[in-house]
Amino acid sequence: MTVTKPAARPPARVEKTDEQWRSLLTEEQYRIARRHGTERAFTGCYWDHHEKGRYLCVCCGTPLFASSEKYESGSGWPSWWRPIDEANLALRRDASHGMVRTEVLCAACDAHLGHRFDDGPPPTGLRYCINSASLRFEPQG
């Protein structure tokens, strides 16, 4: 398994046993974040969420995305054109399901977040397509 991380300093590692993750997460959160699942489009609690704040890793609380960079991609999953800090994400080549994609993981705990695509809006041209079940929202203020 090849994991590519940005050059910036990643967050402190968070390591737990499978049993500990199961006790901390709902069944759906565990299936998606720890077992690399995917929620159905237009079903997650954040795909049509517009409150101001930050989206954190549901497993370890690492800050991942800000509402100011969130946009409506039409995909049915919450989407951002950039993360809060690229060092908080790890990227991995994903060749599952008969296609090649870039998987997005939490750099602190290796939670599966979703995928990154090269069809996003300016200025980055990137679309981080993330499962709501892998996130926890922290309101601004």
For the domain spanning 17-139, the CATH number is 2.170.150.20
Selecting among 59, 60, 109, 129, the annotated active-site residue is: 129
Residues 37-63 have a mean pLDDT of 97
pLDDT of 3 above 60: no
Tell me the pLDDT tens digit for each residue of 77-104. Answer: 999 999 999 999 999 998 888 888 999 9
Q: What is the model's pLDDT at position 136?
A: 98
Q: What is the model's pLDDT at position 9?
A: 72
Q: What is the model's pLDDT at position 67?
A: 98
Q: Which residue has the tokens 């800090």?
A: 85
Spell out the domain ranges in the chain.
17-139
Give Cα separations from 65 to 6, 10, 33, 70 (angstroms): 16, 15, 16, 8
Question: Quick check: is 129 catalytic?
Answer: yes
Percentage of the chain lying above the pLDDT 70 cut: 94
The token duo for 125 is 């041209």
